[in-house]
Amino acid sequence: MFGFVMIIIAIGSNLPHPEFGASKDVCNAAIDAIEACGCGILDRSRWFRSVPVPASDQPDFVNGVISVRTALEPAELLSCLHGVEDRFDRLRSVPNAARTLDLDLIAYNKLVNDDPAGPLLPHPRMAERAFVLFPLRDIAPDWQHPVIGQPVATLIAALPGDQSCTPIT
């Protein structure tokens, strides 16, 4: 129904998993699990280390983004991502808690949806998060936010100084 579109998924982890290992390994395994949902991986960013947002005493995160193609509609894709999180033992205790895996549907082409029945697109806080924008710049440096019309470089320049995001070697 939607054909070929630029779909962006953010991947993050700041807790190890007993089966998949350290956070970076969890994130790599998550890509395979997303692919198994019927998503073709088009591109992937480098992995970045970032501080928790909002600031806390949690461990740093490993974050990245991928672009995919799929025949799944946005709600179906989000449901699939939640299923992957469940398989990786994601616990939803309190907002912004530490987690083994966090998957967010960031953008589905230029689709805009602000209906709370969701999924909200583009992701409502993506423009305020270094851990999304820096990896996004890796794979889509010309991407523009479909609501505010600003390119990723402008969004990065507007970030608060307390968000660090550095590539992992």
Query: Which one of the listed residues 102, 115, 125, 142 is annotated catalytic?
Result: 102
Task: Establish whether 162 is a catalytic residue.
Answer: no
CB 135 within 8 A of CB 48: yes
**Catalytic residue chosen out of the listed positions 49, 90, 129, 137:** 90
Query: Active-site residue 102, yes or no?
Result: yes
138, 45 Cβ separation under 8 angstroms: yes
Q: Which of 44, 104, 129, 137 is catalytic?
A: 104
Residue 138 known to be catalytic: no
Single out the catalytic residue among 44, 99, 129, 137. 99
Q: Let me know if 90 is a catalytic residue.
A: yes
The amino acid that residue 32 corresponds to is: D
Handedness of CA 135, 6, 8, 142 (dihedral sign): positive
12 with 58: CB under 8 angstroms? no
Catalytically active residues are: 90, 99, 102, 104
